[in-house]
Structure 1
Amino acid sequence: AIHLEFHTSGNHYVWRKVTSTVHNIIVGKLWIDQSGEIEIINHKTKDKCQMKFIPYSYFSRDTPRKVTGVVTGADGKAHFVLSGTWDDKMEYAKVIQSTRGNSSSEGKQKMVYQTLPPKVIWKKYPLPENAEKMYCFSELALMLNEPAERIAPTDSRLRPDQRLMENGKWDEANVEKQRLEEKQRAVRRRREVEAVQALEYGKNYEGYQPLWFERKLDTLTGELMCVYKGGYWEAKERRDWSMCPDIF
């Protein structure tokens, strides 16, 4: 589950993402679709938002990449409706009246909402110039792998094969990738041996423990989640990364 908590207001939203499907991986033009339903819950106010991502269909008359949704209060009453597409923009409209309509093909009774004029709540930021030559990445996506100072030696931006590939050195990147993967396999084999030896001697074996995160039970969903336990920003301020393992 994904959590978003605003400390000032106390609003705490929890949801799970929809299914992302990549088409034509082997042959044809690559394209992605999002499909499924999302329930976003504000655990402070008990407000809910039910969103539906309609899958693409060649035979459908629906707008491609269409998204619809309804925001309800703790009493179950609809307050807003959402509509739009997940790749362009979303609009919301305030509900002023709700009535029950005809039954759907699934046997459920549809709700008909009378609303005020819609307003844009989100719009896609324009792509940078020559985006088609850069996998149509957004400006943010293009910046995610940019080198930075004073970062941990385990930061993925320092992964050598990834950097070589980004610089267009494909052959060198492939060799480096194989070296890294073999190094990871060796570490895994060593840990497996340590676990077996600990079992033989009747000792507990904790295995690898993350430096800055710990697993805790999510009291809202009942699932295990990784929670930041501190230490990273302090280490960055001191410029002391001596606790980091050598992974590259």
Structure 2
Amino acid sequence: MASNANGGFFSAISNRISSIRSWSSATVSSMLGGVEGLEVINPEGGQEDAESEALKGRFKQEDRESYWKMMHKYIGSDVTSMVTLPVLIFEPMTMLQRMAELMEYAHLLDLADQCEDPYLRMVYASCWAISVYYAYERPWKPFNPILGETYEMVNHSGITFLAEQVSHHPPMSSGHAENEHFTYDITSKLKTKFLGNSVDVYPVGRTRVVLKKSGVVLDLVPPPTKVHNLIFGRTWIDSPGDYVVTNLTTGDKVILYFQPCGWFGSGRYEVDGYVYNKDEEPKLLLTGKWNSFMSYQPCDSEGEPLAGSELKEVWRVADVPKNDKFQYTHFAHKINSFDTAPNGLLPSDSRLRPDRYALEKGEMSKAGSEKSRMEDKQRAEKKVRESRSEKFTPKWFTLTEDVSTTPWGDLEIYEFNGKYAEHRAKVEAESSGDRVDQTGITFNPWQYDDSSVQAAAE
């Protein structure tokens, strides 16, 4: 959590979380498949033998050593798009669809827009930002979008959502969502660091939310994420660090500290922080767990709860399906269905990907071959562009001259260009209004036709 060297009210905050920051993790002292010293922890709190826990990864015992030999050369590298990963670690969803999962609890943004109290408004907005972490806890990897791939979502709380893969190297996605209460815009460029049996994920991105009633503009900066036990052990995800939500209009700010997972899962999921005014005075404290609930309470200038006040719950995770294969929420299933697709779905939509659909049906071999086929075609299209000295141009987002500085590197900004609204109005005008079957649409994010790509290959 951020601190002030001049002391004052921040000293109370420092004392409050000093114990939180002291944490450590268990390690494996024995040799596992020829690899020593790999971090293994049971984040659910059981005290099982570390070596036994380490053997519960996704890979069969005979596959671990060969996969480790393939991957160990990438230690310390950004592996966002340079490594071809086996389909068995994927879930039947793309990164663009995962971006849309943030809309599940968008009613919190509606409440923020309607709220007159500027500090409670920040509570609603920050709890909305945290709400997606339950879904992001899934250890399965989403598919990397093909360049030009899109994802559209309607029929959820009056929200229209569109995301597009705007760059392949580096991998970048842009998204826009809107309803009567807010607009949401994001440019995202993930950066990773492979550490052997784990990978650090740095959210190099810019996220802006505009609340329409007040005109307030919010900026969101999440903490990095660490994926543990990629090969050996049970895969689990943690996001230790600060989540900062800044009101760029007033200067108010929320700083939430995500406690790292300690020994045998101690402290995992816990979140504590404050809403500060523009003078950096704490006004409300927030506490909870990012996988279940968040509450707030008025506090004094030292960050202590006001006498006679009580915690009030703002958000609680919705019920989830039992024994779901991919640990999906009901909303995740909704995102994957055509129920949230508009008529005249873009043929570049993630739902139409043959590898994603095959994996959803459990056809692993077909999913793997389709994934390889599309990746080959994407590389072939790159050769065509280079041979013609052409650049890829996104359809629905435009590269601006703005460059955003993030804690993990600079970021080029894409903005929603408004062409999608024109497209959607045209589609609606030409349709009868009846829902049509869209499952037969062929996935097509491609820039060139097959003959151009084949000619380049020859």
- TM-score interval, smaller chain: 0.7 to 0.9
Deviation at 1:167, TM superposition (A): 1.6
Write out aligned runs for 1:98-177 (5 A). 98-99=301-302, 112-115=303-306, 116-128=309-321, 130=322, 132-147=323-338, 148=341, 149-177=343-371
CA distance in 2, matches of 1:225, 1:40: 19
Deviation at 1:49, TM superposition (A): 0.7
**SS in structure 2 of the partner of residue 113 of structure 1:** coil
Deviation at 1:217, TM superposition (A): 4.5
CA distance in 1, matches of 2:403, 2:274: 26
Q: Which residue of 2 aligns with 1:227?
A: 415
Write out aligned runs for 1:75-86 (5 A). 75-86=279-290
Determine what percentage of the aligned residue pairs are the same residue. Answer: 29
CA distance in 2, matches of 1:161, 1:219: 34
Unmatched runs of 5 consecutive residues or more in structure 1: 100-111, 196-204
Write out aligned runs for 1:4-153 (5 A). 4-58=209-263, 63-95=267-299, 97-99=300-302, 112-115=303-306, 116-128=309-321, 130=322, 132-147=323-338, 148=341, 149-153=343-347
| CA gap 1:217/1:13 in 2 versus in 1, 3 angstroms | farther
Deviation at 1:182, TM superposition (A): 1.1
Deviation at 1:36, TM superposition (A): 1.1
TM superposition outliers: structure 1 runs of 4+ over 4 Å: 217-223
**SS in structure 1 of the partner of residue 371 of structure 2:** helix
CA distance in 2, matches of 1:54, 1:209: 41
Does structure 2 conserve the Cα–Cα contact (< 8 Å) formed by 1:217 and 1:223? no
TM value normalised by structure 1? 0.80
| CA gap 1:20/1:179 in 2 versus in 1, 3 angstroms | same
**SS in structure 2 of the partner of residue 144 of structure 1:** helix
CA distance in 2, matches of 1:22, 1:219: 28
Residue identity opposite 2:274 in structure 1: V
Unmatched runs of 5 consecutive residues or more in structure 2: 1-205, 431-443, 451-458
Does structure 2 conserve the Cα–Cα contact (< 8 Å) formed by 1:82 and 1:92? yes
| CA gap 1:184/1:220 in 2 versus in 1, 3 angstroms | closer
How many residues were matched structurally? 219
Residue identity opposite 1:140 in structure 2: F
Deviation at 1:145, TM superposition (A): 1.7
CA distance in 2, matches of 1:63, 1:181: 41
CA distance in 1, matches of 2:289, 2:401: 34
Does structure 2 conserve the Cα–Cα contact (< 8 Å) formed by 1:151 and 1:236? no
**SS in structure 1 of the partner of residue 384 of structure 2:** helix
Larger Rg: 1
| CA gap 1:218/1:67 in 2 versus in 1, 3 angstroms | farther
Does structure 2 conserve the Cα–Cα contact (< 8 Å) formed by 1:214 and 1:227? yes
After superposition, the C-alpha distances for 1:34-83 in whole angstroms (9 at most, x for unaligned) are 111122110112101111111101078x5321111111111221100111
Does structure 2 conserve the Cα–Cα contact (< 8 Å) formed by 1:212 and 1:230? yes
Residue identity opposite 1:98 in structure 2: S
CA distance in 2, matches of 1:50, 1:14: 12
Q: Which residue of 1 aligns with 2:186?
A: none
**Higher RCO (C-alpha 8 Å, min separation 6):** 2
CA distance in 2, matches of 1:68, 1:218: 33
CA distance in 1, matches of 2:361, 2:332: 16
Q: Which residue of 2 aligns with 1:211?
A: 395
Residue identity opposite 1:113 in structure 2: E
CA distance in 1, matches of 2:292, 2:280: 29
Does structure 1 conserve the Cα–Cα contact (< 8 Å) formed by 2:286 and 2:297? yes
Question: What's the Cα RMSD here?
Answer: 2.4
Higher helix share: 2
Does structure 1 conserve the Cα–Cα contact (< 8 Å) formed by 2:404 and 2:413? no
Residue identity opposite 2:301 in structure 1: S
Does structure 1 conserve the Cα–Cα contact (< 8 Å) formed by 2:397 and 2:415? yes
**SS in structure 2 of the partner of residue 163 of structure 1:** helix
Q: Which residue of 2 aligns with 1:237?
A: 425
| CA gap 1:160/1:237 in 2 versus in 1, 3 angstroms | farther
**SS in structure 2 of the partner of residue 173 of structure 1:** helix
Does structure 2 conserve the Cα–Cα contact (< 8 Å) formed by 1:83 and 1:92? yes
Does structure 1 conserve the Cα–Cα contact (< 8 Å) formed by 2:404 and 2:412? no
